[in-house]
Amino acid sequence: MQKQVEMTLCFPVRNGRVLLGKKNRGLGAGYWNGPGGHVEEGEGHMACAVRELREEFGLEARPDSLEYRGSSVFHNPPGKYAEVKVYNYVCTEWDGDPSPNDEMDELRTFSLRPFELPLDLMWQDDGIWLVPVLLHGMTVYGEYWFFDDGKLCKSEVRHFPHARDSRNAGRKEPG
């Protein structure tokens, strides 16, 4: 059995717009996404999301400015990539101006209403889970299975109204 890798994703949202970056290298090159990456040893999920927001977008945020919006487990073909569990956050307060880097060399905001996310240039599963998180403020828990060619073959997703004070939602670190 493959070891599960833990990662985070963070989506900066302000004034009805979400800031995304276009990845220029590695897995997902050419796709628009929020900043994210591997949780380092001894690092909490929120701390990882804050660090990735700083490293990839040049933005400074406090952990209490993040809202936990669920998790996604990605089951990849054996031997291809590790199984990945991603903890998803939305950030509505930050300091600084977005600045591209060597991993995401183009940053841009997209309107949520009218809806203009470039879903044809994003991961295939983003249309399933990210849209309810950003447009409807939902908390989403999902599992996704992929074929060898990277295409989505199956998904199981649960959507819940976002509740800031429940154990696994709002501003609390998942536990």
Asked if the structure places residue 34 within a domain, the reply is yes
pTM of the shown model: 0.89
Q: Shortest CA distance to 141 belongs to which of 152, 157, 154, 125?
A: 157
Asked if the structure places residue 166 within a domain, the reply is no
Confidence grade of residue 35 (pLDDT, cut at 50, 70, 90):
very high
pLDDT number for residue 47 = 96
Asked if the structure places residue 106 within a domain, the reply is yes
In this predicted structure, the answer to whether residue 24 has a pLDDT above a threshold of 50 is: yes
CATH assignment of the domain containing 74: 3.90.79.10
Asked if the structure places residue 171 within a domain, the reply is no
| Domain total in the chain | 1
Asked if the structure places residue 123 within a domain, the reply is yes
Range of the domain at 148: 4-161
pLDDT tens-digit series, residues 93-103 = 999 999 999 89
Asked if the structure places residue 174 within a domain, the reply is no
By DSSP bridging, strand 4-14 and strand 83-91 are: parallel
β-sheet bridge partners, residue 97: none
Asked if the structure places residue 169 within a domain, the reply is no
In this predicted structure, the answer to whether residue 13 has a pLDDT above a threshold of 80 is: yes
pLDDT tens-digit series, residues 67-90 = 999 999 999 888 777 899 999 999
pLDDT number for residue 171 = 40
Higher pLDDT: 95 or 148? It is 95
Asked if the structure places residue 92 within a domain, the reply is yes
| DSSP H or E segment with residue 32 | strand 32-33
